[in-house]
Structure 1
Amino acid sequence: MSQPVWVITGVSNGFGFLLTLRALKAGHRVVGTLRNKAKNTRTVQQIEAAGGEVMEMDMTESQESIHRKIKSVGRIDYLINNAGYAIFCCLEQMSEKEVNTQIATNVFGPVYAMQAALEGMRARRSGLIVNISSIAAKDPLPTSALYAASKAALEAASESLAKEVADFGIGVTIVNPGAFRTNFLGQLQLSENPMPSDYKDSVVGQTIQKFANADGNQAGDPEKGVERIFEIATGEGIAGELKGKVLRLVIGEDAFTRMKSNNDRFVQDFMMGKKFAFSTAFD
């Protein structure tokens, strides 16, 4: 069997960086993307020293640009859409630029990357797309409205795509991480607009402070989280048994608990409205 090829977006740190090293350790070819090599020289050196390749790509680039860069890799067996970021603030506060950049980075960019990889995967009748979402998509907290919306959009696209490409031997997996001890919270981004004073002592201000306090204290071990992702992708290890059997991988006890609680509330509301749903047909 030829050397498996991975394209992993957002390898400057966190899950993207660790998954790159894990796949390289397995002897696979990995092409990682990040926005600026000059600002991440140490990361680039580490990846290249391990045998990987790094390509500059911003997820807000045009469809044509992302297509060209992804297709330049050649055969792709695993596309991992990991790049993304969050702005934490109240919805009312976000500027037009922030709204557009949040959605472009977390939705449009990954969609363009998937489009570029799918042509070759479809021709070979094989391949796997892994989209790194968030528990925020299934249990949005205050301050993360647009981030949660962007991840929910990515998940909906993933669910539809999985049905579109199943006949071509292409798999799609959604990963919902909880709080892992990466630098995600350490890079906490706030809106460029001032927060209206009403929100400062409300649940919005309190949640932002909780996020800040949680940095460095997250329960999730990123090395273990990445190992589960690698396993479900390759069919190896303890999570390997899930490959091809599930659409979603939830990692982190906190993510599992929050998602179940949110789902239980949804089912309760859903069933309470059953008679009204059935009341809308023509007599």
Structure 2
Amino acid sequence: MASVWFITGASNGLGLTLALHALKSGHNVIAAMRNPTRSADAAKSIEVAGGKVFQLDVSRPQGELSKAIETAEAIYGRIDVLVNNAGCSVFGPAETFSEREITELFQTNVFGPFYLTQAVLPGMRSRRSGTIVSVSSNGGQVGTPTCSLYAASKFSLEGFSEALSKEISEFGISTLIVELGAFRTNFLHAMKASEKGIPKAYQGTAADQALDRFKAAAGKQIGDPTKAAERMFEVIVGEGQGGPLKGKILRLVLGKDAHARITAKIEQQQSDMEAAREVTFSTDL
């Protein structure tokens, strides 16, 4: 039986590639994008492949997103797979971010996925089946210079998803966090620096150097987004190379670079815990 997929951020990159792959594999797809007119080529490719294009701004308030899900569920009668893929980023030293930048990024990367997930859960619970996919990145595990705001949002998304998985598994609903490395999408080309820019004091520092690396890496990322979409799809549906992982893992790391960075993070955490063991154990009554 074909599943019904609701994929946000489907106007380009991984979202578009995943939507087209799911359609090619015989599933029903509702591809959500903020501005289908501006993304006319993507919208047309979805429709030609048999999918439905759905206008949605995931940064809208909870009530609007709840109503949007009701409308989307009416198309095929249900949503089986929710892929929270839409996201945005702003880079720069932590002290430079404005209240507007912080609020807008969290509305898109955290609040939107939270509200959409809330909206699909009653239907999934009643059917005792479904999958919630949160598209994160290695930035959801590892904080780096200029990425404090982005990392804060992805750490939050992962914390939400991890706790969620322990609440809904008994209803037959699966949760998957996808931690991406550097894939050759428009992510770095669309990279925005904070409005205030780099203060003079940061010139030549780790933050300044990180921004230069991001700019230089645009269009040269080693990751293939088509392969990433294929592996995601396989783990979600239980087919192909990734199929045996269905329902057995919470986090799916994609990309050698992401694997290396997250492995180093885990090793550092373990080292910190061992170094502090006596202090840690000294606090009991």
Q: TM-score w.r.t. structure 2 length? A: 0.97
The residue identity in structure 1 corresponding to 2:256 is E
* One of 112, 115, 121 as aligned partner of 1:112: 115
Match of 1:127 in 2: 130
Instruction: State how far apart, in whole Å, the 2-side matches of 1:202 and 1:276 are.
Output: 34
Deviation sequence 1:146-173 (CA, Å, 0-9, x none): 1001001000000100000011000000
Name the SS for the 2:69 alignment partner: helix
* One of 156, 170, 190 as aligned partner of 1:167: 170
Where does the alignment leave 5 or more consecutive residues of structure 1 unmatched?
none
Q: Give aligned pairs, total.
A: 281
Instruction: State how far apart, in whole Å, the 2-side matches of 1:73 and 1:196 are.
Output: 45
Instruction: State how far apart, in whole Å, the 1-side matches of 2:65 and 2:144 are.
Output: 31
Q: Note the 1:1-283 alignment, pairs <5 A.
A: 1=1, 3-74=2-73, 75-282=78-285
State the Cα distance separating 1:87 from its structure 2 match: 0.4
Instruction: State how far apart, in whole Å, the 2-side matches of 1:124 and 1:71 are.
Output: 16
Where does the alignment leave 5 or more consecutive residues of structure 2 unmatched?
none
Instruction: State how far apart, in whole Å, the 2-side matches of 1:168 and 1:67 are.
Output: 21
State the Cα distance separating 1:137 from its structure 2 match: 1.3
Name the SS for the 1:217 alignment partner: coil
The residue identity in structure 2 corresponding to 1:34 is M
The residue identity in structure 2 corresponding to 1:169 is G
Instruction: State how far apart, in whole Å, the 2-side matches of 1:202 and 1:273 are.
Output: 30
Alpha-carbon RMSD across the aligned residues, in angstroms, is 0.8
Instruction: State how far apart, in whole Å, the 1-side matches of 2:33 and 2:275 are.
Output: 47
State the Cα distance separating 1:73 from its structure 2 match: 2.0
Maintained 8 Å contact 2:92/2:197: no
Name the SS for the 1:72 alignment partner: helix
Maintained 8 Å contact 2:110/2:153: yes
Deviation sequence 1:195-215 (CA, Å, 0-9, x none): 211112211111101001001
In the TM superposition, structure 1's runs of 4+ consecutive aligned residues that sit over 6 Å from their partners are: none
Identical aligned residues as a percent? 46
Maintained 8 Å contact 2:34/2:55: yes
Instruction: State how far apart, in whole Å, the 1-side matches of 2:61 and 2:134 are.
Output: 20
